[in-house]
Structure 1
């Protein structure tokens, strides 16, 4: 059974540590800050075996070089080959799965253009490490891809087993839920989850992981087919459209300015 632990970095990033209770070897996901990772490894007497990168943004990759220098053995550094990321030695181009030998598990790879064109996610057992594609209550900005690309990327994740745990890279949940409640004010699941996350953050705890099941119930970017979401978008933009991609793209524009 895998253990997944967050390391807080910068203002709101999470670097995820993937481990087994029986081994000191670990992988980390998107280490933008090497110092906090090294501190965690030393404190818990762990050894870094490898790094999983979802996309090229510096707050996800900035610690790679320093972690290579810190490590006494060669690290397996996985990342999307379609993006310009230094130090990747296990490039992922079209593989459906990769092996993480230090843990004896395989990771399924999802190709998720939208936030960036080469963005990928890692699905390991029941855990999804999705970088900046899917957030709890939200999704990533469209920096490189199209609304259609990001919509279909999110639908790919939404079709996973509902119990899949979602480990995204930022603590954006309360901000996302505030916007979601403007879009879907009559969603009781959303209201309940908003109150729940407020209590968690009041104790300085992470709202993550979420789950696919939760996101299907509360995340407006996975609910663009729902009448209330469509109606809210149409009213906000003074238009009349039921096209799901149009609704998604305008919803993302609305969130960008919220």
Structure 2
């Protein structure tokens, strides 16, 4: 069994701390900074042995060096972005796998937000760590890729079992939900989720992880029928000020 701790860092990032009970192994996913992660691991008595990065952006790798120096951990990340993540020890790509204890995570190539972005899917645990590809009720901006790539990524993620928990890297759900209501004004599930998200945020509570089932029902980017539709949605969301 894997325990997962959510660690808020920077302005709106989440770092995920995974701990496999049987082996005692601990993995950090996308540490934007080091101190909160090291403090939480110490508080729990978990020894960090690995970092898994999804992409090169500083708010996902900024804590790598300090955590590695403090723990001696191994850093794994996308081979296609190795030149931009100098702390990498292991480069991985589509079809590779990583492990925490005896539990395997499959590496998926999900380019679009960045050219070499990857995700980590743990099928036996019904978990997927998606970085900045799929957000609760949204998707990542297309900084280095195309709408077609993002649409393909989201369609692939949509094939996962509906109970699969989706661990994204930002607390963007409130803004995404406000846009989703505009994108699909007749979707009652979106309207209900917007109210739920507002209540959670008013209490200072997190809105993630989500599930694949919830995203299929309430995420316009996962529900759109083709890449052209996603391109139009993404452009509208980029300009949205609601």
TM-score class, shorter-chain normalisation, is over 0.9
SS in 2 for 1:194: helix
The count of aligned residue pairs is 236
- Note the C-alpha offset of 1:175: 0.4
Which of 114, 117, 127 in structure 2 is aligned with 1:116?
114
Structure 2 contact 128–166 (Cα < 8 Å) conserved: yes
CA distance in 1, matches of 2:227, 2:67: 41
1:29-87 per-position Cα deviation (integer Å, ceiling 9, x unaligned): 0001001111112222221010010000000000001011111xx32211001012111
CA distance in 1, matches of 2:193, 2:239: 23
Which of 221, 232, 236 in structure 2 is aligned with 1:250?
232
CA distance in 2, matches of 1:78, 1:95: 14
- Note the C-alpha offset of 1:182: 0.6
Q: Which residue is 1:14 aligned to?
A: 14
Structure 1 contact 132–170 (Cα < 8 Å) conserved: yes
- Note the C-alpha offset of 1:20: 2.8
TM-score, normalised by the number of residues in structure 2: 0.94
Structure 2 contact 93–118 (Cα < 8 Å) conserved: no
Q: Which residue is 2:164 aligned to?
A: 164
SS in 1 for 2:105: strand
1:4-30 per-position Cα deviation (integer Å, ceiling 9, x unaligned): 110000111000011134554311100
CA distance in 1, matches of 2:23, 2:36: 21
CA RMSD in angstroms, aligned pairs only: 1.2
CA distance in 2, matches of 1:176, 1:59: 20
Structure 1 contact 24–45 (Cα < 8 Å) conserved: no
CA distance in 2, matches of 1:129, 1:94: 14
- Note the C-alpha offset of 1:204: 1.3
CA distance in 1, matches of 2:144, 2:173: 23
Structure 2 contact 27–52 (Cα < 8 Å) conserved: yes
Q: Which runs of 5+ in 1 are unaligned?
A: 226-243
SS in 2 for 1:91: strand
- Note the C-alpha offset of 1:98: 2.3
CA distance in 1, matches of 2:2, 2:44: 16
CA distance in 1, matches of 2:88, 2:228: 36
Instruction: Give the number of the structure whose alpha-carbon radius of gyration is greater.
Output: 1
Q: Which residue is 2:181 aligned to?
A: 181
CA distance in 2, matches of 1:94, 1:179: 32
> Which structure 2 residues correspond to residues 13-32 of structure 1 after superposition, within 5 A?
13-21=13-21, 24-32=24-32
